């Protein structure tokens, strides 16, 4: 029997309705779980357990009402980057430990308005500029499946909280993979919506690389959260994206393309083996699946770097580039801002031109196929304290670019109009889940979720049902 703290949000909602359990019991289970395991994995920067328990006790009766809200009685962990009015938001930076938000971000606002209880804020690397999750302020965050390995970043604490049974689900943000990378390292579902589908605060809303979403243990929970946070918001002009109301294709009519390496990644054998098993599971039920060659190269890495430095990097440099602040930043943040200083206008032009080339090369695939499958990570062998500013990383015995050579998410931030869902599809040799990306045509969610639903019943069926994190206790 699945422990109470590992029940999905949709299962909890059903149990609330039938009186099998109640929100206060579930909240106590999350709090007890925190005291059992958080010291091992470091998911939270702040907790609000006393207030959350009071809210859960009030929700005990509310969930029995016919007018209960969609998230009433569910504990939602919020990334310590997302503003909630009256709460400190550190962004993983020691210079922001007294920075109290005066407004609430659209996603957090919608989760709260729909009854979610925020019982804690989750760890993130400083200013979310790392794909691992550690900071001088909050320490090292670790995957509960293998604590020697990173949880992934930047929404690492959010993923740990969900994977460890300390929250119903959590939010995350994604400018280069910051939802999908931690979802992968923690065996979860993480969705990067198409740009504009979910509202964001200025000036990040005008950045097509930037996305906001949720991280969950099940596909049903992800769809629940996504439906509540998407849609227009007046503070974000980019969020007025028309819904695609076309009928979803039946599974038998969906055509699937598969890329093992996106043209240039060096990928570990255990990840490729899981990908092949995923392909076979689809072919066995008659889905058309073809391997394709994508003519991208390592220029994709530089294009993503340039864009991130030209937008978010310039903002950070403006606020934190003075010597009195700069010298107090983390090592990787300093390295990042030094690279921002080197950026030229011609670099930005070349990156934008290369973005167009990337689309020219992938668009023929999307004209023929409904979705593209590829790995989320090229390797799961990334230490929890990995620092791309000074450390090296190898895949199959070959050095790869330490900043972006080991995760395969950011090409679809460059092509930000494509929705991408990451989900588990097996286990790697180091006891970290393997993870698959399902990439959709621009603004076409339906086929992404259809394929994910099928795979949730096959290659991912055991996760959080019979297969749970071991916290290194193998």
By annotation, the residues acting in catalysis are 79, 154, 178
Distance between CA atoms of residues 270 and 287, nearest Å: 24
Burial (CB count <10 Å: 0-12, 13-18, 19+), residue 250:
exposed
Beta-strand relationship, 134-135 and 117-122: unpaired
> Could you tell me how many helices (H) and strands (E) the chain has, helices first?
15, 17
Q: Are 407 and 377 in contact (CB under 8 A)?
A: yes
Dist. CA 431–CA 107, nearest whole Å: 33
Provide the 3-class DSSP secondary structure of residue 27: helix
Which of 320, 329, 347 is closest to 389 using CA atoms? Answer: 329
User: 242-250, long-range: CB within 8 Å, 24+ apart, which pairs?
Assistant: 244/443, 244/444, 244/445, 244/446, 246/446, 247/446, 248/446, 248/447, 248/449, 248/450, 249/370, 249/446, 249/447, 249/450
- 3-class SS string, 108-141: HHHHHHCCCEEEEEECCCHHHCCCCCEECCCEEC
Instruction: Note whether 308 and 175 are within 8 A (CB).
Output: yes
Is there a cis peptide before residue 154, judged by omega within 30 degrees of 0?
yes
Strand ranges of the sheet holding 211-216, from the earlier edge strand across to the other edge: 44-47, 117-122, 75-79, 169-174, 211-216, 189-192, 420-427, 433-440, 371-375, 255-258, 288-291
d(CA 161, CA 165): 6
Nearest to 78 by CA among 194, 193, 207, 229: 229
């Amino acid at each position: 029997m699945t422990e109470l703290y590992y029940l999905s949000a949709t299962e909890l909602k059903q149990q609330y309705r039938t009186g099998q359990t109640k929100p206060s019991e579930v909240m106590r289970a999350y709090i007890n779980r925190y005291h059992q395991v958080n010291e091992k994995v470091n998911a939270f920067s702040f907790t609000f357990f006393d207030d959350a328990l009071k809210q859960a006790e009030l929700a005990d009766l509310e969930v029995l009402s016919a007018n209960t809200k969609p998230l009433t009685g569910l504990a939602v962990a919020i990334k310590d980057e997302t503003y909630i009015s009256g709460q400190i938001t550190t962004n993983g930076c020691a210079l922001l430990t007294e920075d109290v938000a005066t407004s609430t971000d659209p996603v957090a606002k919608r989760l709260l308005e729909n009854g979610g209880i925020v019982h804690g804020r989750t760890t993130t690397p400083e200013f979310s500029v790392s794909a691992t999750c550690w900071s001088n302020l909050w320490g090292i965050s670790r995957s509960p499946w293998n604590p020697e390995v990173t949880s992934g970043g930047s929404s690492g604490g959010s993923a740990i909280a969900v994977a460890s049974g300390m929250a119903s689900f959590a939010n995350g943000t994604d400018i280069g993979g910051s939802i999908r990378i931690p979802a992968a390292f923690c065996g979860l579902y993480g969705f990067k919506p198409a740009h504009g589908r979910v509202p964001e605060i200025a000036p990040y809303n005008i950045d097509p690389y930037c996305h906001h979403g949720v991280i969950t243990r099940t596909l049903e929970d992800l769809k629940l959260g996504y439906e509540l946070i998407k849609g227009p918001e007046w503070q974000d002009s980019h969020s007025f994206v028309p819904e695609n109301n076309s009928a979803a294709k039946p599974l038998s009519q969906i055509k699937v393309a598969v890329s093992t390496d996106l043209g240039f990644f060096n990928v570990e054998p255990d990840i490729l083996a899981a990908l092949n098993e995923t392909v076979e599971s689809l072919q066995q039920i008659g889905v058309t699946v073809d391997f394709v060659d994508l003519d991208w190269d390592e220029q994709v890495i530089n294009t993503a770097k340039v864009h991130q430095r030209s937008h978010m990097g310039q903002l950070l440099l403006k606020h934190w580039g003075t010597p009195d602040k700069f010298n107090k930043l983390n090592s990787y943040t300093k390295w990042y801002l030094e690279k921002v200083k080197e950026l030229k206008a011609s670099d930005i032009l070349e990156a934008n031109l290369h973005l167009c080339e990337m689309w020219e090369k992938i668009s023929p695939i999307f004209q023929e196929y409904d979705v593209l499958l590829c790995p989320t990570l090229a390797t799961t062998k990334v230490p929890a304290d990995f620092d791309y500013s000074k450390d090296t990383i190898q895949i199959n015995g070959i050095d790869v670019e330490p900043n972006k050579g080991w995760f395969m998410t950011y090409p679809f931030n460059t092509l930000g109009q494509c929705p991408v869902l990451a989900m588990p599809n097996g286990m790697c040799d180091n006891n970290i889940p393997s993870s698959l990306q399902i990439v959709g045509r621009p603004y076409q969610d339906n086929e992404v979720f259809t394929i994910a639903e099928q795979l949730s019943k096959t290659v991912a069926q055991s996760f959080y049902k019979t297969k749970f994190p071991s916290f290194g206790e193998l």
